[in-house]
Amino acid sequence: MRHLLDTRTLDRESALRILDVAEDMSDTQSREIKKLPTLRGKAIVNLFFEDSTRTRISFEAAAKRLSADVINFAAKGSSVSKGESLKDTAQTLQAMGADAVVIRHSASGAPRTLATSSWISAGVVNAGDGTHEHPTQALLDAFTIRKRRYGAESRGRDLSGMRVVIVGDVLHSRVARSNVWLLTTLGAEVTLVAPPTLVPQNVSQWPVRVLFDLDEALADGPDAVMLLRIQLERMNAAYFPSEREYSRCWGLDTRRAQTLPHDSIVMHPGPMNRGLEISAETADSSRSTVLEQVTNGVSVRMAVLYLLLAGERNEQRGGVK
């Protein structure tokens, strides 16, 4: 695997390979000594131009458990805040001998620009770019759904026949986009539910069903309901009348959660706005996988870094090669 830039170009075989390697990584994390020597001597840079505690710590934990050396680079307070370009930063990392760069950037397409340029020879992992994609989040979500459904029998299985409802701010959500492409590649049926103002204009080109009524979507008895965070920091206009109105129409409260089949799961990429997208009782219920997603995220990111760095890299370019 040369780079991981998105899930749209990720084929079924490659996706299942990552998920199955993540199963192996997950098994090692139940041992007393969790650290593996696999990437000893490799240097991994977390290059974050945008704030993110969960994703950065997850990638850092994954790299350290594989015995890699980790360099955390935050744009705030760095030379970037003084006007240094992405190219200059990349060339500095190249000079330092970085083997892989995990990049989060507010500009959609920044990871692909880095990966397809001649600025750096390191493998590139997209940790979220603008409103484009967040591939490792989608992979950990798929891993969590598969694990909850099949348990110890999950290796090699896809998500054929499973129904997933994604609710909320689809317009601004890179998590939604990555999940749409990955879940459908793995055979799941995806339904998007959102206020009309938070549905992308090109959604008709996506392999999904779009509804505006959450109760209608839940009546079908989905296997998983994924709540998206209302990203107030990305909004510069009023997309719905009020937070109370949003919660009433599109929030997963206790009443709605009780209508789900007993084995349906409730997911959230975090951080949660309790009382807005999801009620506190539902977030803390046994059907909630929020903490499992955090745990599984480390295993999935270990798998990605392992596949990126442990084998001999080829020179192909693209989403995942």
Q: What is the DSSP string of 168-204?
A: S-TTT-HHHHHHHHHHHHTT-EEEEE--GGGS-TTGG
Tokens of 140: 């950990």
Q: Are 37 and 61 in contact (CB under 8 A)?
A: no
Task: Please compute the mean of the pLDDT values over residues 101-122 and round it to a whole number.
Answer: 95
Mean pLDDT score of the chain, rounded to an integer?
91
pLDDT grade for 313, boundaries at 50, 70 and 90: very low
pLDDT of residue 83: 59
pLDDT grade for 160, boundaries at 50, 70 and 90: very high
This prediction has a pTM of 0.93
Can you tell me whether residue 247 is helix, strand or coil? helix
In angstroms, the CA 64 to CA 150 distance is 29
pLDDT reading at 234 higher than 80:
no
pLDDT grade for 310, boundaries at 50, 70 and 90: confident
Task: Please compute the mean of the pLDDT values over residues 229-233 and round it to a whole number.
Answer: 73
Any idea which of 100-104, 151-155, 186-190, 310-314 has the lowest mean pLDDT? Answer: 310-314
pLDDT of residue 201: 93
pLDDT of residue 264: 97
pLDDT grade for 318, boundaries at 50, 70 and 90: very low
Cis previous bond, 241, omega within 30: no
Q: Are 198 and 169 in contact (CB under 8 A)?
A: yes
Any idea which of 78-87, 100-109, 197-206 has the lowest mean pLDDT? Answer: 78-87
pLDDT of residue 320: 45
pLDDT digits (tens, 9 = 90+) for 63-87: 999 999 999 988 765 656 555 789 9
Q: Residue 156 is which amino acid? A: G
